[in-house]
Amino acid sequence: MVYVVSDEVMHKSGGQRMVVTGESGGMVECRWYDGYSVQREAFHEDELLPGECASGE
């Protein structure tokens, strides 16, 4: 799946909703607030689910 900046996603194994901040070569950069600070990490696109699918909506 192709993600674009501002899409909400979740990791397939669970966790917090994240916002896509960039995408390149199959890697998706995400940011999220963990309650203390803003975190960021890049995930392979196959590791992510669209935010609306992850919540069961």
Amino acid occupying residue 46: D
Q: Provide the token pair at 30.
A: 């995400």
- Three-state DSSP state, 35: coil
Residue 56 tokens, joined: 């069961």
What pLDDT sits at residue 18? Answer: 96
pLDDT at residue 31, as a whole number: 98
Which H or E run contains 51?
helix 51-54
Amino acid 57: pLDDT? 46
Per-residue pLDDT of the chain (57 residues; tens, 9 = 90+): 789 999 999 999 988 999 999 999 889 999 999 999 999 999 999 999 998 765 544
Every domain of the chain and the residues it spans: 8-54
